[in-house]
Structure 1
Amino acid sequence: MPAPARPDDCIFCKIIEGDLPADIVHADEITVAFRDLNPQAPTHVLVVPRSHYANAAELARHEPTSVAALVSAGSAVAAAEGLDDGYRLVFNTGAGAGQTVFHAHLHVLGGRSLQGHMA
C-alpha cells in the first residue's frame, strides 16, 4: 500500500523536499535526520521517514520496516554525535503525548545525563 499523500502544510515534508532549510545530519533512502529547533538536550535530533504518516503507530502499521530504519538511523546519529555515554530514543504518538508535528518522527536526545528526565 503506498504512503498517503503529503499534506501541503507538513513542515517535515517540506524539510524532506528541501523546501524549508534544516541542519540535516543524516539522510538515506528511507530517513532524514535534522537538528530540532527547540532542543531539549545538548544533542536533539529528529529522525523522520520520507513517507508521511501522522505518527509512529500508523507508520508501524503500514511500513514496519521504516520504524526499524528510524531506529537504525537514530543509532547512527548518536554514534556520529559522540553520544558514547548513552542517549534516548523517543516517539511521541498523539497530542496527549506531546506530539506537535503530525508526521511520524523519532527524537534522539543526549549530551547530558537523562536519568530521571522524561523527554
Structure 2
Amino acid sequence: MDDCLFCKIARGQIPSRKVYEDDEVLVFHDINPARPVHLLVIPKHHITSLATVSEADIPVLGRMLAIANRLASEQGSPDGFRVIINTGRIGHQEVPHLHAHIVGGSEPVGPMLKRI
C-alpha cells in the first residue's frame, strides 16, 4: 500500500532503527518505547491485521515469532519478553499494518491485563 506507514518503512522510504531484516520481515526499535526493550516486527508485504490473515500468511507469521527470542535476548531481555499483537479497534491497533511488539528488559513487564 502506497500510504501505509509500515510499508514505507519496509521500503526504506522512512528511516528506522533496524535490528533485523530478511526477505519476509523487518524488525526495528519502536519510536516511542514503552519498555527498555521495545521492538516492532512487521511483515514486509502489507497485511492489515490478524483479522485479515489467510493461510497464505502462515509462513510469515511463523517467521515473525521464530525470530522473537533471539532478538529479544540480543537487545537486552535474555530472561524473557512479551509479544503483543494488537488487532482492530477493540485491540487498540494504531497502525493498520500487522505488527508484533516485543517488549522486555531487566524488570518484569507486569500483569498481562488490568482486571476490570
Could you state the TM-score of these two structures normalised by the residue count of structure 1? 0.86
Matched, 1:46 2:77: no
Partners of 1:42 and 1:113 in 2: how far apart?
11
Structure 2: 5+ residue runs without aligned partners? none
Name the structure where helix makes up a greater proportion of residues. 1
SS in 2 for 1:89: strand
Aligned to 1:93: 87
Change (3 A) 1:12 1:64: same
Partners of 1:28 and 1:75 in 2: how far apart?
16
Partners of 1:59 and 1:48 in 2: how far apart?
13
Change (3 A) 1:39 1:117: farther
Q: State the shift of 1:48 in Å.
A: 0.2
Which one of the candidate residues 9, 17, 21 is aligned to 2:15?
Answer: 21
Preserved contact between residue 51 and residue 88 of structure 2 (Cα < 8 Å): no
Could you state the TM-score of these two structures normalised by the residue count of structure 2? 0.88
Aligned to 1:34: 28
Partners of 2:49 and 2:17 in 1: how far apart?
22
Matched, 1:12 2:6: yes
Which one of the candidate residues 57, 66, 85 is aligned to 2:60?
Answer: 66
Aligned to 1:107: 101
Change (3 A) 1:9 1:114: same
- Matched letter for residue 28 of structure 2: F
Preserved contact between residue 59 and residue 104 of structure 1 (Cα < 8 Å): no
CA RMSD of aligned residues (A): 1.4
Partners of 1:61 and 1:92 in 2: how far apart?
19
Structure 1: 5+ residue runs without aligned partners? 1-6
SS in 2 for 1:114: coil
Partners of 2:83 and 2:54 in 1: how far apart?
16
Aligned residue-pair number = 112
Q: State the shift of 1:96 in Å.
A: 1.4
